[in-house]
Amino acid sequence: MLKYFFSIGLLMTVFCIQAQETTPTTKSLDKTKTEGVIPASPKQAKAKPSSATKTDTIVPIKKDRYGVRVGLDLYKLTRGLYDSNYKGIELVGDYRFTKNYYLAAEIGSEDKTTEDDRLNTTTKGTYIKFGFDYNAYENWLNMENIISIGLRGGFSTFNQELNSYKIYNTQHYWNEMPWIESGKSFNGLTAGWIEVVAGVKVKVYNNIFVGFSLRMNTLLFEKKPDENFENLYIPGFNRTYAGNFGAGFNYTVTYFIPLYKKTVKPKEVVKKEIK
């Protein structure tokens, strides 16, 4: 009998042990939950590709002034102070009609006595020159300086007076012939030419400009006083040399009279996208 009860007790003990091994505990359940399930990571907001755009640069508004510039040639005006054989005056002017082009003109009168080896003549007359200048200088804001090249057409009316002359002596044995007083006048003489002009004008104070120019002349036509008497000096053209070429220069001071303004269109700024 004891043997029977002992067997039953042994079986119940084994059954309890197996039940404990197969029945999951709370901790094991929690561990299973934590170890068996992988939590999903939170969704992250997708970052949009940033783009930087260059904005337009603020360009100050620039207005160019248009008007008339008038003045004097100081060289001709002051030359008479140190040259007793010269008297003259020249008025100069220009008008700006586009951004870079100027209509230009000079008008003046000259009284010049020329002493040659065998001639002494006095030339009196007036002249006018008309043409244009092109400004090749790119000014900064509020600057109005000019570096120009231009073209002129000139015309002069004048008189020549033969004061005295010498007869050329082909016989070198004899002494030079003395000067012969003449006083003969030749009126109604004319001449025409073209000239290339290169110059500079700088604004020194407010509307006052100082300028300098060099000129190369080519004579197109002239009316000579006599077959044996050539024009030694032509007003506006200056002294004539061998051939039909001449040269000159002027030094001017001018005053600018503004008439109106034009707004300069700023250059377009291209937008560039930086990726």
The tens place of each residue's pLDDT in the chain, 275 residues long, gives: 544 444 555 555 545 445 444 445 444 444 444 444 555 555 555 555 554 555 555 656 778 899 999 999 999 999 999 999 999 999 999 999 999 999 999 999 999 999 887 788 999 999 999 999 999 998 887 789 999 999 999 999 999 999 887 776 666 656 666 777 777 889 999 999 999 999 999 999 999 999 999 999 999 999 988 877 888 899 999 887 667 888 899 999 999 999 999 887 776 544 444 44
- Where is 31: in which H helix or E strand? helix 26-36
**CA atoms within 13 A of residue 255's CA, in its CB half-sphere:** 1
- Where is 36: in which H helix or E strand? helix 26-36
Instruction: Check residue 275 and report its DSSP letter.
Output: -
Residue with tokens 């200088």: 137
Residues contacting 158, CB < 8 A, separation 6+: 123, 124, 125, 126, 127, 189, 190, 191, 234, 235
**E strand segments, 36-179:** 52-53, 62-73, 86-96, 101-115, 119-135, 146-165
- Where is 246: in which H helix or E strand? strand 245-264
Residues contacting 129, CB < 8 A, separation 6+: 105, 106, 107, 152, 153, 154, 155, 195, 236
Short-list 148, 155, 154, CA closest to 96: 148
Please give the model's pTM, rounded to 2 decimal places.
0.72
